[in-house]
Amino acid sequence: MVRSMFRFLFRRIALIVPTFIGVTFMAFLLIHLVPGDPIEARVGERGIAPERLAELRHEFGYDLPMWQQFFKYEVQIVKGDLGMSVVTQQSVWHEFITLFPATVELSIAAILFAMLIGLPMGVIAAVRRGSAFDYGLMGMSVTGASMPIFWWGLMMILIFSVTLGITPVSGRISDAFFVEPWSGFMLIDCYWSEDEGACSSAWSHMILPMIVLGTIPLAIIARMTRSSMLEVLNEDYVRTARAKGLSTPRVVIVHALRNALIPVVTVIGLSVSGLLGGAILTETIFSWPGVGHWLVESIARRDYPVLQGGSLLIAVLVIMVNLGVDLLYGFLNPRIRR
Amino acid sequence: MTNKAIASACAVALTAFLGTAQAKTLVYCSEGSPENFNPMINTTGTTFDANRPVYEQLLGFRYGSTEVEGKLAEKWDISADGQTFTFHLRHNVKWHSNKTFKPTRNFNADDVIFSFERQWKDANPYHKVSGGGYDYFSDMDMPKLLKSIDKVDDYTVRFVLNEPNAPFLADLAMDFATIQSKEYADALLKAGHPEMIDQDPIGTGPFEFVQYVKDATIRYKAFPAYYGSKAKVDTLVYSINKDPSVRVAKLKANECQIAFGPRPADVPGLKADKNVNVMAQAGLNIGYIGMNTKKKPFDDVRVRRAITMVIDQKAILDAVYQGSGQPAKNLIPPTMWSYNDKVPGYKIDIAGAKKLLAEAGYPDGFETDLWAMPVQRPYNPDARRIAELVQSDLAKVGVKAKIVSYEWGEYRKRAQAGEHQMAQLGWTGDNGDPDNFFVPLAACSSRNTAQWCDKSFDDLVVKAAKISSQAERAKLYEQAQVVMHDQAPFYFLAHSVVYLPMRSSVTGYKMSPFGAHRFDMLDVK
């Protein structure tokens, strides 16, 4: 058992190396395929003398052949150095670690929102199969899963913030509050703020972005829970439980839901990488200072080190999450370890 | 509890309440994050705006105007030959402080020398710090212009130039000519963190820097020891929001009191809101189409003149600028001194244009490209739409224009290299001096979009830069505008109007002709 587990672990970790090289290569190549470079991006209408352009290109090493630039970049990464942002002159790692908690906080809130609403809805729809609620939920989940985040976000702002005035428009906290970013998680740091009301402001700022980012996972979780529950509800052991005279809530929650959750948990695990993609858009709409917003800004500025380093760190994160899911799966289901 | 204790408790509570009630905060919805906190090493308006509360220069622009006034320099003398500028510095100017730095002395000549040498001399220990690119310093020709900068005494600094240069004073009022603290620089160098000078700024301005949360907010507080009029708000916050619709939504919800650049389409809705005031000002800018005088058929002045006779400027202003543009006929905007209003505006004359084209050997017209920027610029809201309108106008005289576009960086590079026949581009002024338009956009030394080099025009603008009398300079620039109109290397589209919406509770705000934002003189009711 332990040996096979280790072999499985070794195989999975060995696969990370080519994935890692592939990701760095793709990040490098795609960014370099886009016309322009960081130096041209910062030159305005004034233009730049060709000699000065050549001098700056040389200084940053952009005049080297692509393969040499890539090689230099790989060597630098192996040494653990992600480089400095061309624009801010700050280390990429420092910028990432400053902004990452905001993205994590939003993603956790979104996935919790999706689970807390999606799971009960899926269960009710399965239990009341064919009812108006079931049809309504399925219709809504198709709409939710295909919702364009950008449009959805702006609509939410327009309705709840501008027209009704019940939620803030954007940001993580009202600008009137002064919060020192100790942990980077606003919902934690706000408790140390001397300004009264900082935390209620932070929570109210979380509502709309959480709903917008959580909508797609919610729809997927609700659908997955419904179909998984429907399958389980027809199993013999559920029929046996009913025959034993157990109450419906007990049959559904204790006997059926526990077994139906296994595929749902997998879907939730896979949603993590999807959430990072969605976070890029959600952060842009709500001016949420996270890594998604940071990467979008860097594209316009052709900030190569940030784009390369940022994509790499996110890819590493997704690889780690997938590895964790695989290991957990291998642990739960011994058949896939072979 | 005794009556006395109750009274004391009430007094404390009342004081605390009044204290809170009186603390004024102004939130400005800005459009982007600053690159860092040093205007010397940046070129974007966003970064200049973020630095303006903190830093000052020797000279500045009078609030809401292009007129140069003393800031850290109280007065100055210019030698008869126009090459030596002696600045008499202000006394008792205090530096800000932060957690790691408490200044032990006031601002003096050492700070001025340090700030210019950092940009100018390779040997300065800070020259390479934070990337060491001083684009504006180079673009304003400072390395070529400066001969020496000397400290005469603690409060007198002498700049000697290699040749007379009238725009020099206006240049020194620009953001790149910021003064940093030498004492702070030395302390950071000793501590081994010189780069912090550009991240945690220490200046002499009306606000002290408090905190920057990347991509979210920049926070400042009023500087109580400021030598000039104290800021009327206690806390100033820049709330960073890239999306113009979000900025407008925040303004309407009173989450910010002033919002940067709304889209023209949002302006009518803002004007209809009784809680919002929309300020507008003719921008110090120009949008134009450059006709490549080095390429056929635009090497012939008759062809260029013919083109100016067929483009319907009013249709462009109505359809694209939607009320946010002024018709242009000169390179400089009408608000700038030396503007020549006697230059006739464009008049549509299809028959006249056909005649000119026939004389030039193109009776049936010709084929040309017509470049359109892929991005919205302050002087041009939609270059593609303009190109389509111009394309249909040109078709009236048989000219078939093919619309071309590239990625923005690529576009500028190719247009400035002269790969096009007709290309749109534009400019926003830096310092209010006409030289800042004529030289970079049309002189022989520039990479101008028309690839135009006219000796008579060039002589006029080069001569004007060397004279110190504004009246004499104005005459030369007026003549230059006549030459330009006559030679028609550009078709001038418009000077766009810049809007700044703010809550009606904001009083005393004046818009800057440069599009700069300053919050030390306003108040919030």
More confident site: B280 or A261: B280
The whole-angstrom distance between residue A43's C-alpha and the CA centroid of its chain comes to: 33
The pLDDT value given to residue A268:
79
The pLDDT value given to residue B9:
47
Q: How confident is the model at residue B493 (pLDDT cuts 50, 70, 90)?
A: very high
Instruction: Indicate the length of chain B as a whole number.
Output: 525
CA atoms within a 13 Å half-sphere pointing along the CA-CB vector of A296: 22
Tell me the pLDDT of chain A averaged across its residues. Answer: 83
Residues 446-465 of B with CB under 8 A from A: 447
CA atoms within a 13 Å half-sphere pointing along the CA-CB vector of B103: 22
How far away is chain A from the Cα of B86, in angstroms, using its nearest Cα?
A: 30
The pLDDT value given to residue A213:
92
Residue B357 pLDDT greater than 90, yes or no: yes
Q: How confident is the model at residue B18 (pLDDT cuts 50, 70, 90)?
A: very low
Instruction: Identify the segments of chain A with pLDDT beneath 70.
Output: 1-2, 42-44, 329-338
- Who among A56, A89, A293 is closest to B215 (CB)? A293
Residue B10 pLDDT greater than 50, yes or no: no
Residue B433 pLDDT greater than 60, yes or no: yes
Quick check: A105 contacting B, CB < 8 Å? no
- Who among A98, A175, A286 is closest to B237 (CB)? A175
Long-range CB contacts (within 8 A, 24+) of A89-98: A89/B36, A89/B130, A89/B131, A89/B195, A89/B198, A90/B36, A90/B199, A92/A305, A92/A306, A92/A309, A92/A310, A93/A309, A95/A294, A95/A306, A95/B214, A96/A291, A96/A294, A96/A309, A96/A310, A96/A313, A97/A184, A98/A181, A98/A184, A98/B214
Instruction: Indicate the length of chain A as a whole number.
Output: 338
Domain A92-301 CATH superfamily? MetI-like (1.10.3720.10)
Residue A7 neighbours by CB under 8 Å, 6+ apart: A337
Query: For the segment B359-388, what is each residue's pLDDT rounded down to a tens digit?
Result: 999 999 999 999 998 877 888 888 999 999
Q: Under an 8 A CB cutoff, do B407 and A284 touch?
A: no
How far apart CA A311 and CA B279 sit, in angstroms, is: 42
Per-residue pLDDT, averaged over B270-299, amounts to 92
The pLDDT value given to residue A333:
60
Residue B22 pLDDT greater than 70, yes or no: no
The pLDDT value given to residue A331:
66
The pLDDT value given to residue B1:
42
Query: For the segment B146-169, what is each residue's pLDDT rounded down to a tens digit?
Result: 999 999 999 999 999 999 888 899
A196 backbone φψ class: left, alpha, beta (φ>0; ψ -120 to 50): beta
The pLDDT value given to residue A92:
92
Q: What is the interface pTM, i.e. ipTM, of the complex?
A: 0.74
- Who among B243, B410, B447 is closest to A285 (CB)? B243
- Taking the CA atoms of chain A, what radius of gyration do you get in angstroms? 24
Residue B5 pLDDT greater than 60, yes or no: no
Per the listing, tokens 């006549």 go with B482
Residue B3 pLDDT greater than 60, yes or no: no
Residue B431 pLDDT greater than 70, yes or no: yes
Number of other residues whose CB lies within 10 A of the CB of residue B59: 21
Sequential DSSP letters for B58-81: SEEEPTTSS-EEESSEEEEEE-TT
Number of CB pairs < 8 Å for A and B?
125
Number of other residues whose CB lies within 10 A of the CB of residue A75: 10
Residue B173, Cβ density class (10 Å: 0-12 exposed, 13-18 middle, ≥19 buried): buried
Q: Under an 8 A CB cutoff, do B214 and A95 touch?
A: yes
Provide the greatest CA pair distance for chain A.
Answer: 87
Sign of CA dihedral B403, B406, B409, B413: negative
Per-residue pLDDT, averaged over B94-105, amounts to 95
Q: B404, B422 in Cβ contact below 8 A? A: no
Q: B197, B221 in Cβ contact below 8 A? A: no
Q: Under an 8 A CB cutoff, do B410 and A162 touch?
A: no
The pLDDT value given to residue B412:
83
The pLDDT value given to residue B323:
78
Per-residue pLDDT, averaged over B41-52, amounts to 87
The pLDDT value given to residue A337:
53
A-chain CB neighbours of B217 within 8 Å are 171, 175
Reduced to 3 states (helix: H, G, I; strand: E, B; else coil), residue A10 is helix
The pLDDT value given to residue A336:
55
Quick check: A89 contacting B, CB < 8 Å? yes
How far away is chain B from the Cα of A305, in angstroms, using its nearest Cα?
A: 14
More confident site: B87 or B63: B87
Q: Under an 8 A CB cutoff, do A86 and B131 touch?
A: yes
The pLDDT value given to residue A238:
82
Per-residue pLDDT, averaged over B400-411, amounts to 87
Which amino acid is residue B396, in one-letter code? K
The pLDDT value given to residue B438:
92
Residue B460 pLDDT greater than 90, yes or no: yes
Per-residue pLDDT, averaged over B477-502, amounts to 94
